[in-house]
Amino acid sequence: MKLNYNEMIIRIIIKSFAVIIAFALTTFILSGQPESQDTELRVTVVQMDVVDGDLKAKMKRAEKNVRKAARLQADIICLPEAVDYGWLYRQARPNAFTISGRYSDFICRFARELKVWIAVGCLEKEGDKTYNSAILDDRTGMIVLKHRKINTLSDLTSHLYDSGSAEDIKVVDTEFGVIGITICADNFIIENSKRVAELGAWLLMTPHGCAARVKDVPDNAVRFMTHIRNIA
């Protein structure tokens, strides 16, 4: 499967849905592409239940999905937003880990063991602040990029975590070209996505999560995907 600048093969692992579900979308913005047209890139997008709390169960679920994606020979694996505790977890402030910390180290270990890149959303504690963050690990298990969610939908989450700053949007040069990260509702503000492209990224990893009634999930998913395609 070859990357040809306007097409990417994406393998999808679908687990299950719940009233609160989380899903990861990988999109691409065509700038800052890899120099070689022969570059091969396999991206696995993981959909899995993210029930608020229940850290150990979700760690096991994440490991199972990461290992399955690696068996599919994925180069980059994208997990959902706040996959450690959930993006609406009521105990986010007291229970979030630092980065590096228990959860990020857990993910880094699999990136290193399986020699894959992993993008994942997780809550982050730093000092007296808490963030809804995402990291990108390289094949050696090193965190090469971190992003803090900017558009946190504060009416829902201001008591749970703090907002990141658009000024802190960054990208990283990789074996696949320049990559950036945003999180879910960050992409409702087009300037955030444009900033990633302006910094030279051609690939935007954007872990997502949503909360909806089960019957509304299909329509919500279509709206999200349409919005992301428009951004790309």
- Calpha distance 223→217 (Å, rounded): 10
Decide if 221 is inside a domain: yes
- The two three-digit tokens of residue 17, written as one number: 């849905």
CATH number at residue 224: 3.60.110.10
| Residue 2 maps to a domain | no
In a domain, 53, yes or no: yes
Domain coverage including residue 116: 10-231
State mean pLDDT over 109-133: 97
Q: Tell me which residue of 83, 62, 176, 76 sits closest to 117, measured CA to CA.
A: 76
Asked if residue 129 belongs to a domain, the reply is: yes
5 inside domain: no
**What total number of domains does the chain contain?**
1
Residue 207 resides in a domain: yes
Strand pairing partners for 208?
23
Residue 3 lies in a domain: no
Query: What sign results for the dihedral spanned by CA atoms 76, 125, 52, 113?
Result: positive
- With respect to residue 1, please indicate whether it lies within any of the assigned structural domains: no
Q: How many CA atoms lie within 13 A of 27 on its CB side?
A: 23
Per-residue pLDDT at 24 exceeds 60: no
| Contacts with 219 (C-beta within 8 Å, 6 or more apart), sequence order | none
Each residue of 75-105: pLDDT tens digit? 999 999 999 999 999 999 999 999 999 999 9
Residues 6+ apart with CB under 8 A from 201: 29, 31, 32, 171, 177, 178, 179, 180
Q: What is the pTM of this model?
A: 0.83
What residues contact 39, with CB distance under 8 A and at least 6 apart? 2, 3, 175, 176, 177
| Residue of 5 and 190 predicted with greater confidence | 190
Between residues 212 and 149, which one has the greater pLDDT? 149
